[in-house]
Chains A and B, each alone.
Chain A
């Protein structure tokens, strides 16, 4: 079945450090890929997405590139801030051969990021 694997956390960084959170996936079909962020006490928010190979999603300084050859969608940010402290989830939504979504997301286990001043 479909699955998403994220790097083990928690990740602790100093402000302005470079961030990478690894995400790899296995899926049948042609999945769309997502990063969601969950701030303390809140639900999940979409951070960025990519729907086909070599697409780059970006938002709020975060980027991730859909790499079909390595089945990866690693999240990066050049300079993290204290306000980026949150839990980050990688997710996929498989599409069938006709390009229609099955409508369900498969999530990774989440990575806790803590940024210190």
Chain B
């Protein structure tokens, strides 16, 4: 069973706040990913990492930033949240093969 965790599961905050969404995995995977999921369900890759100290922007431009200081941890930060950031954020990880394991997601609402 895949072990990838995201906290918080739900977050409601006001505009202008700084937030960090946490993602951790215990599988020792080198590759990790952040996706933004529309209300219409479509998934967009916003960040990925191939290992410690490696981060890349994904296919969808995002104002968020990420860091990868430890293999198991891949947090996503928004310096100043806006209503346009309201979405579901999904974290995933993978090993050498292609299969990605997903966390349960964080549903963010910015008022």
Contact = CB atoms under 8 A, between A and B. Distances in A.
Chain B interface, DSSP helix/strand/loop, else mixed = strand
Interface in A70-97: 87, 89, 93
Contacts of A98: none
A45 B96 CA distance: 18
Interface of B: 6, 31, 33, 40-43, 45, 48, 50, 58, 90, 92, 94, 96-105
B40 A43 contact: no
A110 B97 contact: no
Choose among A36, A41, A93, A103 the residue with the greatest number of B CB atoms under 10 Å from its CB.
A103
Interface string A88-117: 010001000000010111010110100000
B105 A42 contact: yes
Interface residues of A, number: 22
B35 to A, nearest CB: 8
Contacts of A32: 98
B105 A43 contact: yes
Main secondary structure of the interface of A (DSSP, over half): strand
9 contacts: A36-B102, A42-B104, A45-B102, A101-B96, A103-B50, A103-B98, A105-B100, A109-B40, A110-B41
B90 A46 contact: no
Contacts of B43: 44, 89, 107, 110
A32 B48 CA distance: 19
A3 B43 CA distance: 13
A2 to B, nearest CB: 10
Closest 7 CB pairs of A and B: A43-B102, A110-B41, A93-B98, A44-B102, A107-B43, A109-B42, A43-B104
B100 A112 contact: no
